[in-house]
Amino acid sequence: MKFQTLASEAESKLTVKGSKFLGFARPVGSMEDIERILLDLKKKYYDATHHCYAWQLGTGEETRFRFSDDGEPSGTAGKPIHAAITRRDLTDVLVVSVRYFGGTKLGTGGLARAYVQSASDTLDAAKILCCEKGDTIRFVCSYELHPLILRAINAYHVISLDQDFGEQVTVDAEVDERHTRSLLEEVKNATSGSVDGTILQKPESLK
C-alpha cells in the first residue's frame, strides 16, 4: 500500500491579531515518538497559552488518529489541524500549533481558520515522502519448486525480494497487503499444496 509521510521536520510562524501561532510538523512512527515530542515542546514553550495538536498513524484499516484543543473552544483547534493532515493524504505525522495569546479574542471561526492556516503553512514547508509498505511472506521450498514460486510472486507488484540459497531456498517477498491472501493461495496451488507461505511479523514500531 502506498502512502505519504514527511521526509523531515518542518516549522512555521503565523501572527493573527496579535496572537502568535508556532507550527511544528514531525514524522513519527509510534505513540512513544508522539509523547516524547509533545513533552519536549511543552517544556520548551512552557509559557504558551495552548499546545494544540493532531496526529495520524498507520494506513488502511490500521489508521489511528487523535487531536486535542488543549483548552481552546471545542472543535476550533485539533480538528482543523487534523483536517490539514488528511487533506494532504499524510500519515505517520504529528502537527502541533503552539499559541501565544495576543490579547484579542478571535472567535470560534477565527480560531479554526488560524489553526488550519498554521497547520497548512507548516505542512507546506515540509518535504513529502512517498512510501510503500506491505506484508512480507516467507516461502521455503526445494530448488525444483523455486521457479514456480517466483513465477507466482512476479505476477504481483513486488516491493522487495530477498532470497537465501541453502539446503533449501528461502524467499521473502514483500507485496501490497491487499494481495497477500491471493499470493498465498496461488503459491499453494502452483506447488500442489506442498509450500505454505508464512506472513512475517512486523516490528512493533512499524505496526
The whole-number pLDDT of residue 201 equals 79
In this structure, whether the domain defined by 134-206 belongs to CATH 3.30.450.20 is answered with: no
E strand map for the chain: 2-6, 10-16, 19-27, 50-57, 64-68, 93-100, 128-132, 135-141, 158-165, 169-175, 198-199
Q: Which residues of the chain are modeled with pLDDT < 70? A: 202-207
Q: Is the dihedral of CA 186, 187, 189, 195 positive or negative?
A: negative
Per the CB < 8 A criterion, the answer to whether 49 and 100 are in contact is yes
Q: Single out the residue of 76, 30, 75 nearest to residue 55, CA to CA.
A: 30
The whole-number pLDDT of residue 206 equals 45
Q: Hey, where are the domains in the chain?
A: 2-131, 134-206
The whole-number pLDDT of residue 176 equals 85
Per the CB < 8 A criterion, the answer to whether 104 and 16 are in contact is no
What distance in Å separates the CA atoms of residue 207 and residue 205, rounded to the nearest whole number? 6
CATH number of 2-131: 3.30.230.30
